[in-house]
Structure 1
Amino acid sequence: MGLSFLNIMLLSGMAVIAIPVLLHLLMRRKPVPHQFPAIRFLQARSQIKKRRLKLQHLLLLLVRVLALCILVLAVSRPILRGAGWIVDQEGPVAVACVVDTAPRMLLRQGNRTRIDKVQDVASNLFDKLPPESKIAIVDTGDGGATFSASAVAAENRIKRMATGASSVNVAVAMNDAARLLESSGIERKELYVFTDLSHGGWEQPVQPNWDALHPDINLVFVDVSATHPQDFILDSLQLSAERLTVGSPLNVSVVTRRVGPKSARSVAIEFQDQEGSFVRRGEKPIALEDGEEEEVRFEINGVDPGVHQGRVLIEGGDGLPVDDSIEFTVDVGPPARVLVASPDPVGTTGLIFVEAVAPFPLVSAGRSKFTVTLESFDRLEKASWSDYLSIVLIDPPPLPARTWKMLHEWVSNGGGLVVWLGPSAGKPSEFSSVESESVLGGQIKRVWRSPDRSNYFAPASLDHPVLSAFRRVGDSVPWQDFPVFRHWEFQPTLENSDALSTPALPIASYRNGLPAMFERMLDKGRVVIVTTPISQTANDPQAWNQLATGFEPWPFVMLANEILEHVMETPDSLNIKSGEVARLRLQRHDLPTATVRTPLGDTFPVAIDQNQGAIAVSATRQPGNYQIRSGGQTGGFVKGFSARLPKSATDFSRLNDDELSFMLGDDRRIVHDAESLDRDVMSYRVGAELSGWILFFAAALLALDWWISNKFYAPRDGAEPEARAAEIFAESVQTDEDAGVITPPPVPPARNRDESTPPPLPEGIDSETEHSP
């Protein structure tokens, strides 16, 4: 028997059973999730922590990678080149060393002079030069700039270098050295200037556009100055006169100065005898503080006729011996003969001037500096002019052209002419002529009148030698007490190419602004013109001035003597600066040569100019006394002169920062010893090595890595709460036991992990909380 269905297709209607099932499922209440705020906060904090931790890891990784890269970079020894990237650091170098060889470089400190320091630093520099380098030594004494044959030759020249008067300054020597370096075919060029950076060494600054003019030259200044100098200094020696008359005293003054702590010394004056030994003639003690000055004066009487040489010195050693003595030369002879021409009667018109320059008491005592001969203008041409050193024309009338021509020739040969213009000149057209203008350098124009005593002598400056003597009294000269009522207006010749018409130059003025005195150089001689006379007496109602007739006219006496001494000064000075050419007129035409003995004892011959009877000595760099001899004891002569160092040669006072910037320029490289020079040279030739700085930076990065690691991974507060709770519980138990409280039984320990964890939830139960409606 079998089961069958008649309408088997209708069995598919059983699918309707899915309807209640579907309704059951659809209508079943779904669980509603609930997010607790604390859970939400923890999830947000978790995301923030994750991002922060990721950033910390990246930062720490970056620091470690950078530190390793910096270490590798330091091991590779990078350099920063100063001479370009293509120049071979071992290639040859053209080097020029400019050395200041002034005597102040002998300043001693620590038993070493400045020249010793130059030699040490230069030798160290030469030892480190690459092969085939060229070296030139340029010193301020010779001034020549040439390359030495070898480094050994250059070093030997440095070691044999001597000090002396400078022929060129440091700035000029630098220019010579730069031109020499630029003429070299070597690509790398270096210029080293060895200097004490003193006021004496830097009277002229470096060219402001030096770097633009010499872009290929590496310029380095080597400072060899003394840091704590100690020295006594003799400065500004003054003589009452280079040429004295017999019986006149010799007055010598010198300024002493101290650098360093307070100390005491003695200043002495000595004269040199025929054998060359010095004999002391005076001595005075001094005690000076740092920077203090004191003037020391000596008066020497009884100086015999002839040429005398001596010195003023400070006893005792100090830092710089060359400024401890100053030599001098004086010539003692008969009074200078002066011819004075004045209007008749000469005994009246010329008396005032004669008494001013050769007063009778001094003439009687044999101490007058001048021997005066009075003549009238009519007898002027008949006098033997060759016997006189000076001619004075007081209130001259119009002179014949022949007389002016004679005066022109006489002055040109070395004579000194003084002209005091006055009323005797008459009309300007009659007095002035081509011949007079050739002597005076100008012509008179008109008489200027000031009858109200408002005009007087008023020099604006005391720099001229005629007026320099008034510096001792300064502004206390009472010129207003000696009014000038009338004076000539003198017009100098216009400048042109004619040598005979060179103009006279004003040297002093009146209060009204018009010139009072003029000076004119005429070949070997000079002329001084005063535009008001001194020939009128005090009771003359037509007197032009009261210069010589006022109350106690000592300013006029000084002025008359200074003018006369000035025009008689010969171009050959007995006291010159070291390095200058000494010219002496010997008035000897019968001797061909003379012998010069230097301060060091060396001798050399010099030719005598037979035409002028004079000699010229150029080898005067060594300061001291020079003696000139020719012929024997009979028929020969002995002359001499002294060479003094200029102030700049011994002025070692250091420039301040502002002065250094002005003299050397801004941002100049200055080194102070061989070590700093080595570093500077290495920086220029090889380049500045950066390994030290990079290693320092790498060490800083490693320290930063350690700090960051400790900062990021440091244990947080509350990271072990169970342990901390156990400690607190143990402490509380101990406290309770001490108080007699019964403690609860201990918590049983967990036997294993499974027993310590709760059982899992049944299947079908979600972690979410289900709520029924």
Structure 2
Amino acid sequence: MSFLAPTLLAGAAFIALPIILHLVMRREPKKVEFPALRFVRKRQSTNQTRLRLRHWILLALRCAFILFLVLALARPVLRGSGLLGEGKAGLAAAVVIDNSPRMDYLKKNESRLDAAKETATWLLEKLPADAEVALVEPGRARRAKLGERDAAILRTERLRTTPAAAPLADAVIEAVSLLAERPDHRREVYVFTDLSRVVWNDGALNLMGEALKANEGTKLYLVDVGEKDPVNAGLGELELSADHLATGEIVTLRTDALASENLSGRPRSVEVWLAPAGGKATKRAEEQVELSDVAQPVEVPLSGLTAGVHQGYVRLSGDDPLSADNTRYFTVSVDPPPRLLLVGATVDDTNLMAEALAPSALAQTAAAQFAVEQIAVDGLDRAQLATFDAVMLLDPPALTSAEWRKLSDFVQTGGGLAVMLGRNAVGKLDEFNAPAPQLLLQGELRWVDSKATYLAPTGYGHPVLRQLADIAEATPWPAFPVFKKWAVANFDKAATTVATFADGTPAIVEGLFGSGRVLLVTTPLSDRASGDPWNLLPTNPDPWPFLALVEGMADYLVGADNRPLNYEAGRVVSLPLPRRSDLATYVLDPPTGDPLPQSLSPGQQEIVVTVTDQVGNYRVRSGGERARLDRGFSVNSAPDVGMLARAEFPTIEAALGEDRVELVASRNSLSSTIDLGSVGRELFPWLIAIVAIVLACEQWLADRFYKTD
């Protein structure tokens, strides 16, 4: 407790006045004459006892009147002790407001965020004018700074929800560390939250608990702006069977419908809409679902998609207080299969590879992943390589210098080339080590290594091996022996080893030439099992690793775009540019707002979009009506945005510490917290009321005590 006018406490000395008056103004007892002396004496004793008690009560009231009057005039202020006492240098406070889409939950046409902003503004206005305050926004790129109260109020008023909001725990930890810069201040963090369990989970509580423990003296106040029994129904994460499709393929959309317990049993429909750029959305499918507090899976197939980019959304029908999880957006790209040229000593030598990349059963239905053309090596000089995306030389014999130069020009302009060496190169080292082929092969052929081994990649990060990454430990490479391979030395400095054999020698080597790429394989991937095969990679009874390997190689060579097209808000999106492209500009169309023109640097190979804080479908275009570039992607909120189940405060209190956290459920309790903890509560009104009561009692008793006959 402190006093605004401590010098007035000296007035307490006036307590001596009633004591002096009490001793001077003693009342003489009345004389009463009765016939019976015994009765007179008894009456005299009773009167003396009553007079003595009234004297002391009257004295106490007069002393209390002076004491409370002096205390009231001294203006005492009651302050909470908190964890740091009053603080020697004032108050440092941080306000953290959850700005995730959950805060768009409506009640009486007011969102949780609006309620939080209104209360936070009121809170900031009640704090002392000299307090150092900061608003910490989850997900804000810049670190918050302590400053003036008016600046924090302005930022609070401008706050909006964003699907790209960072975890609330990160903002709380930032606020705690920010206030730690003021060790001599009283430090308080006010967190406006709906207490959702997905936010106040065990991991987040552990991190916040460690931050509070490391910065003793900081008090955390949780301002509850949520509902005890929220009502909501929505969709979970949207998954696609594939983001990139070949012509004729079917894409399957999968999601979950989930509702709060108070909506269980109600029927809803899940609708799939396609929304062409600049066109009107049309409903393509619909599934009925009965809501439940247990996730109800929904699966909808989409077929008949033509070549191009298709965008749309999946929507849960009906309304509820939170709309952020009722719609999920998606993008699918349907591309014609890339053209791949297979070149062998004879056409028959390319059949195994052709069947692996474009099975005849799929080729007849136009659903093959690659459009494969097979030729013999003697037809290479007549082939129009510019019409193909990649070329594979399957155990080629020695080529002429003109043919090597033709392949070099193809790769130079962005084509992909794979050279798989085998028996047809035996005895022709001089031809393969000549300057023309060495531009592409990246290394010199030395000899045939006949020591049996098998493929044993040391890593699966390269795109060629990425399809095998998730099952790397289960891939039975020893079951696919390699009996012979080429020993290659003097690799180019820019060459990269993609995969090795078990003996450590290179199996697949990548080289870059111009705008294209070259893969050198030191053993053929087209040998039949009969005769004297160099390996059994394509002819094992269960050759699935071989199929995954050659498909990865073909994808990499043709520059297939296997990057995802559907992202969570806040992620960086990368879109590849067309190969052999001379584009200088492009336009980014966000879900809302004006198109954003952008420029491209010479040699740029991809477009990177870093601002993805809007939910919806994005489109990237260039080339005008010819649309030489047409890409798209979709952005969605986090899958848990509709999970509104609340955490229990005792759990939070146990994790953070009973003396470090306090729950504030109403503005009145928040006002008491501010008055006591931050500003201090003046006791003047209470003391004046007590003075008035004491004075009234003294007057009433004095009138009865000094009443004249």
Query: What is the TM-score of this pair, normalised by structure 2?
Result: 0.65
Of all paired residues, the percent bearing the same amino acid is 24
| 2:560 corresponds to 1:569 | yes
Partner in structure 1 of residue 289 of structure 2: 286
Partner in structure 1 of residue 589 of structure 2: 597
| 2:260 corresponds to 1:260 | yes
State the secondary structure of the residue aligned to 2:237.
strand
Partner in structure 2 of residue 354 of structure 1: 354
Partner in structure 2 of residue 726 of structure 1: none
> Is this contact kept in 1: 2:586–2:597, CA < 8 A?
yes
Superposition deviation, residue 535 in structure 1: 0.9
Partner in structure 1 of residue 481 of structure 2: 485
Alignment of 1:201-600 (within 5 A): 206=207, 210-211=211-212, 214-215=215-216, 217-222=218-223, 224=225, 227-229=228-230, 230-245=232-247, 248-261=248-261, 262-263=264-265, 264-301=267-304, 303-342=305-344, 344-345=345-346, 347-374=347-374, 387-392=387-392, 394-395=394-395, 449=452, 483-486=479-482, 500=494, 504=498, 533-540=524-531, 542=533, 544-545=535-536, 547-548=538-539, 550=541, 557=547, 560-561=550-551, 564-565=554-555, 568-570=559-561, 574-579=565-570, 580-585=572-577, 593-600=585-592
Q: Which digits, 9 at most, give the CA deviation of each residue in 1:668-707, with x for residues without a partner? A: 5152534555555556436899xxxxxxxxxxxxxxxxxx
Q: Which digits, 9 at most, give the CA deviation of each residue in 1:487-542, with x for residues without a partner? A: 6799999xxxx983655368xx9xx9999997979799888888875412243453
Partner in structure 2 of residue 685 of structure 1: 678
Partner in structure 2 of residue 643 of structure 1: 634
Instruction: Compare 210-219 and 373-382 and name the one that shifted more.
Output: 373-382
Give the whole-Å Cα distance in 2 for the aligned partners of 1:424 and 1:663.
Answer: 74
Give the whole-Å Cα distance in 2 for the aligned partners of 1:444 and 1:684.
Answer: 84
> Is this contact kept in 1: 2:83–2:218, CA < 8 A?
no
Give the whole-Å Cα distance in 1 for the aligned partners of 2:209 and 2:442.
Answer: 46
Superposition deviation, residue 300 in structure 1: 1.3
Give the whole-Å Cα distance in 1 for the aligned partners of 2:93 and 2:397.
Answer: 70
Partner in structure 1 of residue 31 of structure 2: none
RMSD: 5.8
Alignment of 1:161-200 (within 5 A): 161-166=159-164, 168-174=166-172, 176-177=174-175, 180-181=178-179, 187-195=185-193, 196=195, 198-199=197-198
Q: Which digits, 9 at most, give the CA deviation of each residue in 1:585-612, with x for residues without a partner? A: 2569776544333212433322244544
> Is this contact kept in 1: 2:649–2:663, CA < 8 A?
no
Give the whole-Å Cα distance in 1 for the aligned partners of 2:108 and 2:460.
Answer: 46
> Is this contact kept in 1: 2:133–2:152, CA < 8 A?
yes
Give the whole-Å Cα distance in 2 for the aligned partners of 1:176 and 1:554.
Answer: 50
Partner in structure 2 of residue 158 of structure 1: 156
Name the CA shift for 1:486/1:158 in 2 (closer, same or farther; >3 Å): same
Partner in structure 1 of residue 22 of structure 2: none
State the secondary structure of the residue aligned to 2:240.
strand
Name the CA shift for 1:80/1:636 in 2 (closer, same or farther; >3 Å): closer
**What letter is aligned with 1:258?**
L
> Is this contact kept in 2: 1:141–1:163, CA < 8 A?
no
Q: Which digits, 9 at most, give the CA deviation of each residue in 1:324-359, with x for residues without a partner? A: 3222233334321223344x22x2222112122223
**What letter is aligned with 1:233?**
L
> Is this contact kept in 1: 2:78–2:680, CA < 8 A?
no
Give the whole-Å Cα distance in 1 for the aligned partners of 2:355 and 2:272.
Answer: 34
Name the CA shift for 1:565/1:155 in 2 (closer, same or farther; >3 Å): same
**What letter is aligned with 1:237?**
E
**What letter is aligned with 1:309?**
Q
Q: Number of matched residues?
A: 594
Q: Which digits, 9 at most, give the CA deviation of each residue in 1:611-645, with x for residues without a partner? A: 44865443321021123445654x45572422323
Give the whole-Å Cα distance in 2 for the aligned partners of 1:394 and 1:373.
Answer: 13
Alignment of 1:4-15 (within 5 A): none
Superposition deviation, residue 649 in structure 1: 6.5
Give the whole-Å Cα distance in 1 for the aligned partners of 2:562 and 2:115.
Answer: 41
Give the whole-Å Cα distance in 1 for the aligned partners of 2:113 and 2:457.
Answer: 50
Gaps in structure 2 of 5+ consecutive residues = 1-66, 683-709
> Is this contact kept in 2: 1:576–1:582, CA < 8 A?
no
Partner in structure 1 of residue 703 of structure 2: none
Partner in structure 2 of residue 127 of structure 1: 125
Give the whole-Å Cα distance in 2 for the aligned partners of 1:659 and 1:375.
Answer: 74
> Is this contact kept in 2: 1:93–1:186, CA < 8 A?
no
Q: Which digits, 9 at most, give the CA deviation of each residue in 1:75-133, with x for residues without a partner? A: 99986612544536xx7533322334233433457765442443244234223211133
Q: Which digits, 9 at most, give the CA deviation of each residue in 1:470-500, with x for residues without a partner? A: 99xx99x9x879942336799999xxxx983
Pick from 100, 120, 135: which aligns with 1:137?
A: 135
Partner in structure 2 of residue 623 of structure 1: 615
Give the whole-Å Cα distance in 2 for the aligned partners of 1:671 and 1:433.
Answer: 79
Name the CA shift for 1:139/1:304 in 2 (closer, same or farther; >3 Å): same
Give the whole-Å Cα distance in 1 for the aligned partners of 2:522 and 2:646.
Answer: 47
Query: What is the TM-score of this pair, normalised by structure 1?
Result: 0.60
State the secondary structure of the residue aligned to 2:272.
strand
Name the CA shift for 1:250/1:150 in 2 (closer, same or farther; >3 Å): farther
Superposition deviation, residue 544 in structure 1: 2.4
Give the whole-Å Cα distance in 1 for the aligned partners of 2:641 and 2:165.
Answer: 15
Partner in structure 1 of residue 96 of structure 2: 98
Name the CA shift for 1:128/1:648 in 2 (closer, same or farther; >3 Å): farther
Name the CA shift for 1:613/1:528 in 2 (closer, same or farther; >3 Å): closer
